[in-house]
A = this chain, B = another copy of it.
C-alpha cells in the first residue's frame, strides 16, 4: 500500500505507446511542445512546463532558479526537501540553506514564517532568506485552504520571498479542496506538479509561471543530466494525466480509500485525513497483527503507522484493512 511504487495507469501506458514513432529529440517533439498550452489551460494563466523524471529534481531545479547559492529557502522542518532528498537542494542551489519553520500538520503559517525570518539578523554574517517552499498537500496529507494559502503567500511576498510549491501530491490536494488548480496553488513562481505517485511512471511536470525562469531551468535541467533524449515519453505521461482529468480521477480514488481507512481508525488518527495518507496510533503488537494479515505500511515512530493509498487501491483491500483496524 504505497503510491510511489504503484502500477502505471493504463491510459498512461497507452499514451506512451502512442508516442513511439520517432520525433525530434529532447523536448523538441510535438508532445513536449504541447505542455505549456495544456497547463495554461489548467491554471488559467500562461506558464512554461518542463518534464523531469523525479520530484526531487523538479523541486531542486525550481529552488535553484529562485535562490542564489548564498541565500536561504524557508521550508517546514518536516518538508520533503529537508528530510528526504539527501541534500539535493544544497546540491542544486550550490549550498543555499534550508531555514526551518514550524507549523501544525507540516503546514507553514504567516506566523511561523515571520518567526523563522525574525530570528535572522539582517547582516552579512547570516544567510538571508530568498524564497519559501510550500508543500500542498503537506507531508501529513494536510491541505492548505485557498484562503490560508493566499494569506501565507501574501506574507511571503511582504518579505520579498520567491515562492515554490512542492505538489508531489498536488492532485490529492485539489481533489480534497474541490477548488480550481489555481486556487490550490496560489500565485507561486514555480510548482512541482506530481504525476509519479498518481499513476505515472517517471515524469513530473515543473510548472513555471514566469517564462524567464523557464529559460534558466532548461539550461540547468540539461546541466543536471535530466534532459532525456526521448523526452516525448515523459511528455506523453504528463499529457495523459491532465487530458480528460485523469489526474483528478486518480487522486479522488486514492483519497477515497484513505478516507475509508481513516474513518475506521477515527480514534487513532494523528492527523485529520485530507489527502491519501493516514497516520494512526498503533502499538507494535497491533502493527504486527495487521502485517500478519498481509497489510503493508510504514512504521511512524514507535507507536504509529503511516498508510498511503494509491490511484488503484482495490475496494476489497481497503475494506479489509478498515475492518481489521476496527477489529483491533
Interface residues of A (CB under 8 A from B): 2, 4-8, 13, 17, 20-26, 29, 52-54, 56-61, 68-70, 72, 83-88, 90-97, 124-128, 196-197, 201-202, 216, 218-230, 232-234
B91-A226 in contact (CB<8A): no
B225-A226 in contact (CB<8A): yes
Residues on B with C-beta less than 8 A from A225 are 52-54, 56-61, 85, 88, 92, 224, 226
B4-A88 in contact (CB<8A): no
Residues on B with C-beta less than 8 A from A13 are 17, 20
Q: Pick the contact of A223 from B52, B86, B221, B232 — CB < 8 Å?
A: B86
Residues on B with C-beta less than 8 A from A90 are 90, 95-97
B230-A196 in contact (CB<8A): yes
B126-A226 in contact (CB<8A): no
A7-B21 in contact (CB<8A): yes
Q: How far is the CB of A10 from chain B (nearest CB, A)?
A: 10
Residues on B with C-beta less than 8 A from A17 are 13
Query: How far is B181's CA from A238's CA once the two chains are assembled, in angstroms?
Result: 38
Query: How far is B23's CA from A128's CA once the two chains are assembled, in angstroms?
Result: 26
A127-B87 in contact (CB<8A): yes
Q: Pick the contact of A70 from B87, B201, B227, B232 — CB < 8 Å?
A: B87
A125 in contact with B222 given A53-B228, A228-B54 (CB within 8 Å): yes
Query: How far is B226's CA from A279's CA once the two chains are assembled, in angstroms?
Result: 28
Which of chain B's residues has its CB closest to A203's CB?
B202
Query: How far is B98's CA from A96's CA once the two chains are assembled, in angstroms?
Result: 12
A57-B20 in contact (CB<8A): no
B223-A88 in contact (CB<8A): yes
Q: Can you give 15 A-B contacts (C-beta < 8 A)?
A: A5-B229, A8-B233, A13-B20, A26-B124, A54-B226, A56-B225, A72-B87, A85-B222, A86-B125, A86-B223, A90-B96, A124-B218, A196-B229, A202-B202, A225-B226
A25-B54 in contact (CB<8A): no
B124-A227 in contact (CB<8A): yes
Query: How far is B225's CA from A60's CA once the two chains are assembled, in angstroms?
Result: 8
Residues on B with C-beta less than 8 A from A91 are 69-70, 95, 223-224
Residues on B with C-beta less than 8 A from A2 are 22, 25
Query: How far is B308's CA from A6's CA once the two chains are assembled, in angstroms?
Result: 37
A219-B86 in contact (CB<8A): yes
Query: How far is B70's CA from A218's CA once the two chains are assembled, in angstroms?
Result: 11
Per CB-CB distance, the 6 closest pairs between chain A and chain B, nearest first, are A57-B225, A90-B95, A56-B225, A5-B25, A4-B229, A94-B94
A87 in contact with B83 given A7-B21, A230-B202 (CB within 8 Å): no
